[in-house]
Amino acid sequence: MVDAPASPVARERLDALARLVSGPTDREEPTRTDRDSLPIHAPYDDSVVGEVPSCTPDDVRDAVSKARAAADEWAAWPVEDRVAVIRRFHDALLDRREDLLDVIQTETGKARVDALEEVLDAATAARYYGNHAGQVLGSTRRGGAIPLLTKTVEHHHPVGVVGIISPWNYPLSLSISEAIPALLAGNGVVIKPDEGTPFTALWGLELLRECGLPDDAVQVVTGEGPTLGEPLIEAVDYVSFTGSTEVGRTIAETAGRHLTECSLELGGKNALLVLDDANVERAARGAARGCFANAGQLCISIERIYVHESVADDFRDAFVREARALTLDAGYDYDHDVGSLLDDALLETVEAHVENAVEKGATVLTGGRARPDLGPYFYEPTILTDVTPEMTLADEETFGPVVSLYEVETVSDAIEQTNDSAYGLNASVWTENTERGEQVATRLEAGTVNVNEAYAAAWGSFDAPMGGMKDSGIGRRHGRRGMLKYTESQTVATQRIAPFSPPKRGKRLWADSASFGVLLWKRISELGP
Ligand code: NAD
């Protein structure tokens, strides 16, 4: 029996959050009490800490209707008023962070420092989009069809209701942070959090309402993805999905059938490159954070390291030292570096990947075992070498604290092997020559590349888009694109004086003049702006 610390969040508090789940409105059946409930477990000791309703497809349709009705009013607010709500949310979030960190840790089992990353992320999203919403959403004059004669303006309208389907690993960042640009753009939002981690999104919903968001503008529906996914995708105007590539394909198919636009933020098998001129100590410290943050349950975490042979021994030794120095344990404080895995399914995958690799000849440099003495799902930070292509974890995402170390002869080999993957989410390059690092970065097939950092530099650069190439996704979050995707653009073009239609007579002359005009325009445009 493990003596794990009990959650500091009272059961009544979680019950109160559960009551915020979107419920039936006008329908008689089924009522909330008729619905099954989902028990929520604390990964630290697998105890049941609370429960939420298992929503039905009708609940989802109701939730979308409520969000749609609220969005009509919300979208009519001046953008500065919507921004004011989000700015209040920013401050309140930081003020109440300790309470929120307890909730996040309770349902995910992550270390407190990893939970804090989520709080800082949501605050950054609120600040960035709060500061930029007015400018991004503002109507913009565009070049007209005929200079001086066509006045063309691009407007951005909210899409209506945005559905957000989010995973368990970052239950605040991937639900509430994602909802912020959608809300600021004037949409209603329906969040379907992962079935195991609903309380964090509900906590965020409660705070948004306290900060002045109209009550129904955000709805949270809890329950099983396969049951709620299709009714949600059918009813909303845009779906933002974060999760596995496998489920992402299902979402894309369903969205295609209903012609619902979607963005898909999916899995990765991210690589870190240590070049011959890297500061190996620094690289080893960065790699340890990159591989073992959130116990490796991070889409942008590092699972492959390609190190130049000239620094391979030094890097290996320093990296193993860094990994061994990480403290692994349960605790609702900042005393530990690495927390628990989510559940038995995750632990099984991690164990199976490592066992399969070891059976086929991989060497464990450190870790390689579960730690049931700390909690049911703890697994040690693990570094493997001698990994070959026939091992499962060579290509497949483990989504745990396991990394493969490969030695390479040249930078080109490292680039080629990095790109030899179905995924293309994140990458990291370590070198003392940052210009060289930036050049290498552009040759990597990854949506984000960090030079002398593992993942946080690119993720935290909110002004720049973030997302996956290849099987890692479609679309981007963050930056202008992260907000504009939640809008319908509309072009309004007003024609003055000369219409486009050819005259009834003199079509030859008209054709020659139009052709000459087009040629002239090209020549003038070549003179520069
Ligand atoms: P998952 O795909 O199993 O689940 C994600 C969400 O989809 C959950 O809310 C789940 O209930 C829902 N879902 C499941 N089946 C569904 C269906 N048929 N229709 C609609 N919804 C459905 O992913 P997970 O295991 O929770 O998360 C881990 C995966 O997410 C990893 O592959 C990780 O790399 C990826 N991820 C990606 C990013 C990113 O930004 N690219 C961020 C975090 C996690």
**Ligand 1 neighbour 447 (Cβ under 6 A):** no
For residue range 442-471, list pLDDT tens digits in order.
999 999 999 999 999 999 999 999 999 999
170: its two tokens: 């970052």
Q: Which atom of ligand 1 is closest in space to residue 472's alpha carbon?
A: 41
What is the distance between the alpha carbons of residues 266 and 524, in angstroms, rounded to a whole number?
45
Q: Are the CB atoms for 186 and 214 separated by under 8 Å?
A: no
> Do you know the residue count of the chain?
529
For residue 237, give Cα distances in angstroms to 35, 59, 181: 27, 17, 15
Mutation test of ligand 1: which of 194, 249, 471 has the most ligand atoms closer than 8 Å to its C-beta?
194
Residue 412 to residue 435: CA distance in whole angstroms: 16
pLDDT at 498 over 80: no
Q: Is 499 exposed, middle or buried (0-12, 13-18, 19+ CB in 10 A)?
A: exposed
| Contact call for residues 153 and 139 (beta carbons, < 8 A) | yes
> For a substitution probing ligand 1, which of 195, 242, 425 has the most ligand atoms within 8 Å of its CB?
242
Q: For residue 402, how many C-alpha atoms fall within 13 Å in the half-sphere facing its CB?
A: 34
Average pLDDT of the residues of the chain = 96
Pairing mode, strands 150-158 and 487-495: antiparallel
Q: Is the pTM of this model over 0.75?
A: yes
Would you say 367 and 356 are in contact if contact means Cβ atoms under 8 Å apart?
Answer: no
- Output the six-digit token pair for 13: 């508090």
CA of 194 to the centre of ligand 1 (A): 8
Q: What is the DSSP letter of 296?
A: G
C-alpha 270/C-alpha 472 separation (Å) is 10
Q: Report which protein residue has its CA nearest ligand 1's atom 38.
A: 299
Same-domain pairing of 309 and 262: no
Helix (H) or strand (E) holding 125: helix 112-137
The atom of ligand 1 lying closest to the CA of 193 is 9
* Token output for 396: 């497949």
**CATH code (residue 276):** 3.40.309.10
Q: Are residues 225 and 245 in the same domain?
A: yes
What separation in Å is there between the alpha carbon of 434 and the centre of ligand 1? 34
> Residue 25: its pLDDT value, please?
62
Tell me the per-residue pLDDT of 36-46, one tens digit each, with 9 for 90 and over.
899 999 999 99
Q: How confident is the model at residue 3 (pLDDT cuts 50, 70, 90)?
A: confident
Give the total number of structural domains in the chain. 2
3-state helix, strand, coil in the chain (%, to 5): 45, 20, 35
The answer, yes or no, to whether any atom of ligand 1 lies below 6 A from the CB of 223, is: no
Residue 85: its H or E element: helix 79-95
92 located within any domain: yes
> Is the predicted pLDDT of residue 228 greater than 50, yes or no?
yes
Q: Is the CB of 163 under 6 A from ligand 1?
A: no
Residue range 286-338, pLDDT digits in tens: 999 999 999 999 999 999 999 999 999 999 999 999 999 999 999 999 999 99
Instruction: Give the H or E element holding residue 418.
Output: helix 411-419
| Torsion on CA atoms 328, 331, 337, 340, rounded to nearest 10 | 60
Q: Looking at the structure, tell me whether residues 348 and 431 fall in a common domain.
A: yes
Which residue out of 234, 269, 299 has the highest number of ligand 1 atoms within 8 Å of its CB and is therefore the one to mutate? Answer: 299
User: Three-state SS for 77?
Assistant: coil
**Cα distance between the two ends of the chain:** 73
Reference 2, options 109, 116, 113, 112; nearest CA is 109
Q: According to the model, what pLDDT value does residue 221 have? A: 98
Ligand 1 proximity of 118 Cβ (cutoff 6 Å): no
Separation between Cα atoms, residue 154 and residue 189, nearest integer Å? 24
CA of 248 to the centre of ligand 1 (A): 7
Indicate which CATH number applies to the domain containing 94. 3.40.605.10
Is 194 touching ligand 1 by the criterion CB < 6 Å? yes
In a domain, 504, yes or no: no
Closest CA to 455 of 240, 272, 230: 272
380 and 289 belong to one structural domain: yes
Q: Please list the alpha-helical segments (H only) found in 211-362.
A: 225-235, 245-258, 280-292, 312-325, 344-359
| Shared domain check, 123 and 72 | yes
DSSP lists the bridge partners of residue 492 as 153
Q: Is residue 170 part of a domain?
A: yes
Average the pLDDT over 352-381 and give the result: 98
Cα of 167 from ligand 1 centre, angstroms: 5
Same domain for 378 and 345: yes
| 4-10: average pLDDT | 95
pLDDT average, residue stretch 376-386:
98
The reply to whether 74 and 211 lie within a common domain is yes
Determine the residue type at 267: G
Domain match, 175 and 317 both: no
Q: Is residue 529 part of a domain?
A: no
Q: Is residue 522 part of a domain?
A: no
How would DSSP label each residue in 187-233?
Answer: -EEEEE--TT--HHHHHHHHHHHHTT--TTSEEE--S-HHHHHHHHH
pLDDT tens, 161-185? Answer: 999 999 999 999 999 999 999 999 9
Determine the atom of ligand 1 nearest the C-alpha atom of 247. 2
Q: CB of 380 within 8 A of CB of 268?
A: no
Say if CB 213 and CB 183 are below 8 A apart. yes
> 196 and 257: one domain?
yes
In testing the pocket of ligand 1, which one of 38, 114, 244 has its CB within 8 Å of the most ligand atoms?
244
Cβ atoms of 269 and 395 within 8 Å: the answer is yes
The tally of CA atoms less than 13 A away on the side-chain side of residue 487 is 22
CB 455 within 8 A of CB 286: no
How far apart are alpha carbons 503 and 511 in whole angstroms? 10
Distance CA 457, CA 83 (A): 26
The pLDDT of 216-244, averaged and rounded, is 98
Band of the pLDDT at 35, cuts 50, 70, 90?
low
pLDDT tens for 78-101 read 999 999 999 999 999 999 999 999
The mean pLDDT value for 67-75 works out to: 98
Q: How much is the CA Rg of the chain, to the nearest whole Å? A: 26
- Write the residue with the smallest CA distance to atom 42 of ligand 1: 299
- DSSP secondary structure letter of residue 338: B
174 and 241 housed in the same domain: yes
Compute, in angstroms, the gap from residue 247 CA to the centroid of ligand 1.
6
Give the confidence band of 1 by pLDDT, cuts at 50, 70, 90. Answer: low
Query: Is 106 contained in some domain?
Result: yes
The verdict on residue 503 lying in a domain is no
What pLDDT does 360 receive? Answer: 98
Residue 384 tokens read as 């493997």
Q: What angle do CA 193, 94, 16 make, to 5 degrees?
A: 45
Domain presence at residue 37: no
Kindly tell me if the per-residue pLDDT of 372 is higher than 50: yes
Q: Which domain holds residue 123?
A: 56-136+155-266+480-487
Residue 27 has pLDDT above 90, yes or no: no
Nearest alpha carbon, ligand 1 atom 10: 225
Same domain, 180 and 202: yes
> 107 CB less than 6 Å from ligand 1?
no
Indicate which residues carry an active-site annotation. Answer: 265, 299
Provide the pairing of β-strand 382-385 with 363-366: antiparallel
Contacts of 200 (CB under 8 A, 6+ apart): 100, 103, 104, 107, 108, 118, 171, 172, 175, 176, 193
| Whether residue 447 is found in the same domain as residue 342 | yes
SS3 347: helix
